[in-house]
A and B are shown apart, each in its own frame.
Chain A
Amino acid sequence: MKIKQISVFLENKKGRLYEALSALAKGGVNIRALSIADTSDFGILRMIVDKPDLAKKALEEAGFTTKITHVIAVGVKDEPGGLAEVLKILYENDINVEYVYAFVEKSGEEALVVLRTNNLEKTIDLLQEKGVKLFDSKAVENL
C-alpha cells in the first residue's frame, strides 16, 4: 500500500523550482500532489507523480538531487473532521506524523492526503484495520 514519493533538494536560488518543474514537464511527467518544505536556506519539494522513475531520471539529468521515499495515500471523508479522525488513530497508537499534504485532486467522495510517519508498516496495518481507505500506487498513478 506504500506509494512512491519523489523528493528534490532545492537550493534557495532564483528559478530553481521552475527549473525542476520544467524538467518534469519536458519528461512528460504529471504531478498528482505536491508540497514544499522550506527553510531559510533551502527547500525540499515532495511530489506524487504518475511516473516516479521517469521523474527521477528527468530531474537527475537536469542536475537535481533527488530521492525516492515511501509514503501512503489516505482517502478521508470530505467533511469537517475527516483528517482529524485518521490522525486520532495514529496519535492513540503513538505514531508520529512526519509530514502530511493533500492531493490537488480528489477522488469521488474522498479527499486524498499523503502521509509519512515514523512507522509506515504499522500505520498501514492500523489504518486498514480501522477501515480507512488507502490507495495503492496504481490507483494514484491513474487518478
Chain B
Amino acid sequence: MYWNKDLETMPREKLRSLQLERLKRIVKYAYEKVPFYRKRFDTSGIKPEDIRSLEDIKYIPFTSKADLREVYPFGMFAVPLSEIVEIHSSSGTTGKPVVMGYTKNDIEVWKEVMARSITTMGVTREDIIQIAYGYGLFTGGLGFHYGALAIGATIVPASAGNTRRQIELMRDFGSTVICCTPSYALYLAEYAKDEMGIDPSSLKLKAGSFGAEMWTEEMRREIEKRFGIKAYNVYGLTEIIGPGVAHECSEQKGLHIWEDHFYPEIIDPETGEPLPEGERGELVLTTLTKEGVPMIRFRTRDITAFISGECPCGRTAIRIERIRGRSDDMIKVRGVMLFPYQIEKAILEVQGVEPHYQIILTRPQHLDEIEVQVEMSKEAFSDEVRELEVLKKKLEKRIEETVGIRVKVTLVEPKSIPRSEGKAKRVIDKRGL
C-alpha cells in the first residue's frame, strides 16, 4: 500500500534527475538566503553553479550541530519570521538548543512524508492511531499528528507520559496503532500486565511505529511478542524535519529514505569521505525541498549503512539499516569502540533477564571499567546463589563475546532501572567526574 505511488515507485534514474534538479535549486537558494552558507561556500571556494551532478555534493562543506548552535536562535532561517508558521527546537540538554522554523510549505512536505511513513504499516483512515510521542517543541508528536491527519485516520493525541491513561485509552478506544519510543513501548506492556492486569496482546493494536532512540532487532521481537503487533522503525531528526525522514515498509528490512525530499550520503565519521554502498558510517542529509531552514550536508551523527538491492515492496527509495548508535555515543573503552546496541543485543539473547539495562563507565584505577546493570526477571529469581551466579556469568560471557571486552554484570531488582517516557538513558559515564 502506497500513499503517493508515483513518487514512491519512481524509477531510480528519474528519481536521481529529480534529486539533481532539486539539489541545484536548494544549494543556490541556501547560498542566496542564508549568510552562514554563503560564508562557508565562499571560504571553500565553491559556487552554487559548481554543482553539476549529484556526486559534486562532496565538494560542499558539512554543516554540524555545533554550527546550528552558534547561530541560535534564527541564524539559519532563509525566510523572514512572517513566513514561518511553526517553530520546533531540540531540548538543549547537551548544549544550546537547535531551533528550526517551518514555512507553510515545509509543513505540507512533513505531512506528505509522514503520511507515506504511516501508510507503509498498512494504516488507513479506518485506523485509530494513538500518538504517545511528546507534543510540543519536540517534533515527534506533531510529526505523527500531521501524517495521520493527512491520511484521515482517527487520532488519539495522547502525548507522552501518563502511562495508566495510555493503556486505558488503548483499551477503551480500541487504538489499532501506537507511536512512541521503543523503550516506552516496553514499559507500556510491562505496566499493563503488572499494574493493571491487562494482557497487552489482548489490546486491539496491530502495528506500532517506534523511533527517536536506538533499538535492536531483539527489542523489536520483544515488543512484537508482548503486544502481538508488527513493530516498525521510524527515523527522523529535528534538524532535517522531524520524524518522517525514513520509515520501514512491510518487509521490515531497512528504512526507506524519502529521497525526493532528503538526499542521503554515508561518510566515514573520521575522515569525512563518502563510503561505498553497504559500508557502515555516519549518515549525512541534505534537504532538497525545505524552505524555512534548508540543511546542506548535515552531519546527523547517526551510524548506519545503505542497503543495496531492490526492495520487494516496490518502493524505489534507498533503504538504510536501523540506526546503530550515534557517532557521539560510541563508547570508547580501553581503546575499543562500542555501541550500547551491541550490549543490548547480547542481553536480549540471554533468558531470565528483562530488556532494561544501564551501562556505567568508571575509571577506578586509571583503567576503564564497564558495569552493566541488568534487571533480573521475576520469574528467573532463584533463591540459590549459584543459579544467579550462573545467570550473571552467562550475561558477562555473552557480552564479552559480542563486544570483545570484559564487563561486570550486576543483577538488579526488577523495575529498579529508571523507566523513561521519552528517550531511555542507557549510558552513565562517570569517568570524567
Contact = CB atoms under 8 A, between A and B. Distances in A.
A65 B378 contact: yes
A41 B411 contact: yes
Contact of A11 (B385, B389, B392, B413): B413
B107 to A, nearest CB: 45
Nearest to A41: B410
B413 A63 contact: yes
Contact of A67 (B382, B389, B416): B382
Interface string A40-61: 0110101000000000000000
A116 to B, nearest CB: 9
Given A9-B376, A9-B413, A65 B381 contact: yes
A84 interface: no
Interface in B363-413: 376, 378, 381-385, 388-389, 392, 410-413
Contacts of A42: 388, 410-411
Contact of A41 (B378, B392, B414): B392
Contacts of B415: 63
Interface residues of A, number: 18
Q: How large is the interface on B (under 10, 10 to 19, 20 to 34, 35 or more residues)?
A: 10 to 19
Contacts of B378: 65
A135 interface: no
A21 B413 CA distance: 17
Nearest to A42: B411
A67 B388 CA distance: 13
Given A39-B389, A65-B376, A65-B378, A11 B383 contact: no
A46 B411 contact: no
Contacts of A67: 381-383
Contacts of A65: 376, 378, 381, 413-414
A12 B413 CA distance: 10
A5 B384 CA distance: 13
Interface string A1-14: 00001010101100
A67 B384 CA distance: 11
A1 B382 CA distance: 22
Given A9-B376, A37-B385, A65-B381, 11 more contacts: A5-B383, A9-B381, A11-B411, A42-B410, A46-B383, A65-B413, A65-B414, A66-B381, A67-B381, A67-B382, A98-B384
Closest A-B pairs by Cβ, 8 of them? A7-B383, A11-B413, A65-B381, A37-B385, A41-B410, A11-B412, A9-B381, A44-B383
25 contacts: A7-B381, A7-B383, A9-B413, A11-B411, A11-B413, A11-B416, A12-B410, A39-B385, A39-B389, A41-B392, A41-B410, A41-B411, A42-B388, A42-B411, A44-B383, A44-B388, A46-B383, A63-B413, A64-B413, A65-B413, A65-B414, A66-B381, A67-B381, A67-B382, A67-B383
Interface of A: 5, 7, 9, 11-12, 37, 39, 41-42, 44, 46, 63-67, 69, 98
